Amino acid sequence: MKTIKEILSWVIPIVAGILIALAIKQFVVTIAKVDGPSMEPNLVNKERMLVWRNSDIKRMSVIVFDAYGEDPSATTKNTDYVKRVIGVPGDTVASKNGNLYVNGKLVKQNFISEYERTQGTGNWDLKTLSKNWSKNVGVTKVPKGQYFVMGDHRSVSNDGRYWGFVPKDKIAGVVKVPFWATDATKRHNVNKLAE
């Protein structure tokens, strides 16, 4: 009996610690990894970041979401994408000559260079983009409960311009600046991520 008590005295704290860690990961914060160059220069390929599950999703928030079922090229569940929220429910979004307009107002994009803003961006609005989407054809505003997202490096980003919106229930959380940020990230003032 004494041996069982000794074993339980160290097993119970370990199990409790694991359960607490799993609960934190599921409901508070998790770690995700960038896959590809679409968020450069602010986040680089293979960089890890903290994702807060219950943060408010605002325009210009960087989010992590499961693209399976939204992007036709994401063919397996739990295919995480990292993108920037450009439009929230009810917004109109348009691009003219590399400038973004949300609800008719110019959006400052100090977090990326002119090259990243203009290359591959073109002139469009939601209605013209949606002609090629499999869902939400002809939409003019971001639908209720959904978000319009783009990568920071527009010429290489596979984002909402090509497949549409991200439903809120697919969003894992909002990216916050990682304490282990790379030198490249620090050079580009990653604090802009949370603005």
Q: Write down the catalytic residue from 2, 9, 38, 168.
A: 38
Angle at 51 between CA 169 and CA 145, to 5 degrees: 25
Structure tokens belonging to residue 56: 């408010």
Phi first, then psi: give them for residue 107, nearest 5 degrees.
-100, 125
38 is catalytic: yes
Q: Write down the catalytic residue from 25, 33, 61, 83.
A: 83
Structure tokens belonging to residue 67: 């693209």
How does strand 29-33 pair with strand 93-96? unpaired
How does strand 48-52 pair with strand 171-176? antiparallel
Distance set, CA 132 to CA 39, 83, 122, 136 (Å): 24, 20, 15, 10
User: Which residues have a catalytic role annotated?
Assistant: 38, 83
